[in-house]
Amino acid sequence: MFRLENAQSLVGIALTLAVCWALSEDRSRFPWRLALGALAVQVGLVLLLFGLPAARGVVQAISDGVDGLSAATAQGTQFVFGYLGGGAQPYVLSEAQGPFVFAFQVLPLILVISALSALLWHWGVLKLIIRAFGFLFEKTMGMGGASATATAANIFVGMVETPIIIRAYLDKLTRSELFMMMVVGLATVAGSTMVAYATILKNALPNAAAHVLVASVVSAPAGVLLARLMVPERRGETGVQVDYTSLLKYDSSIDAITKGVADGLMVVLNISAILIVFVAFVAIGNGLLGLLPPLWGEPVTIERLLGIVFAPLAWSMGISWDEAPKAGWLLGVKLMLTEFIAFIQLGNIPAGEMTERTRMIMTYALCGFANVGSVGITVGGMGVLMPERRAEVISMVWKALLAGFLATCMTAAVVGAMPRELFGITG
């Protein structure tokens, strides 16, 4: 059933398109074919997984798979860390189960998924999946083979690994294609973190694993569209074709696992350090803001200020105005502090303080690497792989951050424009 809330989400779609077109390097042309193709791919993928009865088994399989990976990881974590990883407690607890320790019960998942992804890449499974999505994006949105492959790869691997996959073609990418690769990398998340996000949200949102996976997939065409709006192809430029030969290789299955673990360890250490520092910075900032006079009877905090700034954007995605300040705060946390912290905060919101539909929409809005910290990662990673174009990357990176951030918001608006019954939400 189509409701006013669904029409409200259409405002968000129009708003993101209008902002990116206003910031375009060439406003004389609007890519209508690409816009229609990208929206059709987004809607089609969501309907495919949530609308078809046969696909409900896929959704359940995804959830079961995440639970299985979490359970398997827990075995290894408990063996190494004992009760801190959820094992038998050495003392009597007031609660029925052991305490939840983020470092030992979420971060180890990244190690397991990183190693599994490397192994699936070596076996060719992940390559086939990426080729299938690349073919879909190439045919529906008129993309070149290299950029279509990069877009598909960004869904499953990190934004640093993706340029490695098409490294042989980096110097041949047009300015528009380079910008698109940056934007899609910021608008999606790596497979190694998808399961971690789903684990954080599993008690707060039904089918959290399916929503997180679909969020990363459907944000890719949104990133392509907004990137093309802001930095369109110049007349006469065509996308370079690709033969799918990749420089990302492993010598054996054991080599894939060990290198995958090493890569995952770097991600875990990076996430841990960022969480410690940024949470501390927020505490320092709130302490300083506490010196200001109360605002509307309550202390001034970073969270409240972010909520005020981003509340209109949250409303345009289809969220009621009563919940918009809290949703806007989450958007601000994601942009300034990383999506990891935003997902943790979303999972900690009590059930009575946010509706299931708003939690679902925010899951899509938060599922992307578009945050201030990723700017440095983008410049550093691409600067190493293509030093001759480092200045060009730096000149576009902040614009790419905005486009990547708005791409996830556009995806959230697309989901918000669909009837809530499609996702099993009745209230």
pLDDT at 93 over 60: no
Q: Which residues contact 60 (CB under 8 A, 6 or more apart)?
A: none
Residue 165: per-residue pLDDT? 64
Residue 327: per-residue pLDDT? 93
Q: CB 280: neighbour CB atoms within 10 A? A: 10
Residue 290: per-residue pLDDT? 84
Mean pLDDT of the chain: 80
The rounded Cα 111 to chain-centroid distance in angstroms is 18
Q: Which of 214, 173, 129, 130 is nearest to 422 (CA)?
A: 214
Angle at 368 between CA 194 and CA 33, to 5 degrees: 115
For the chain, what are the domain ranges?
4-83+98-423
Beta bridge partners of 298: 295
Residue 244: per-residue pLDDT? 44
The alpha carbons of the chain give a radius of gyration, in whole angstroms, of 21
Q: Which residues contact 404 (CB under 8 A, 6 or more apart)?
A: 182, 183, 184, 185, 186, 187, 223, 368, 369, 370
CA distance 237 to 20: 21
pLDDT tens, position by position, 324-338: 999 999 998 888 878
Point out the least confidently predicted range of 147-161, 194-208, 325-339, 392-406: 147-161
Q: Which of 184, 121, 119, 122 is nearest to 155 (CA)?
A: 184
Residue 393: per-residue pLDDT? 86
The tokens for 59 are 């959704």
Point out the least confidently predicted range of 26-40, 72-86, 388-402: 72-86
pLDDT tens, position by position, 161-170: 666 666 666 6
Residue 148: per-residue pLDDT? 73
CA distance 396 to 186: 13
pLDDT tens, position by position, 228-278: 899 988 765 554 454 445 556 788 999 988 988 887 787 777 767 776 777
The rounded Cα 328 to chain-centroid distance in angstroms is 17
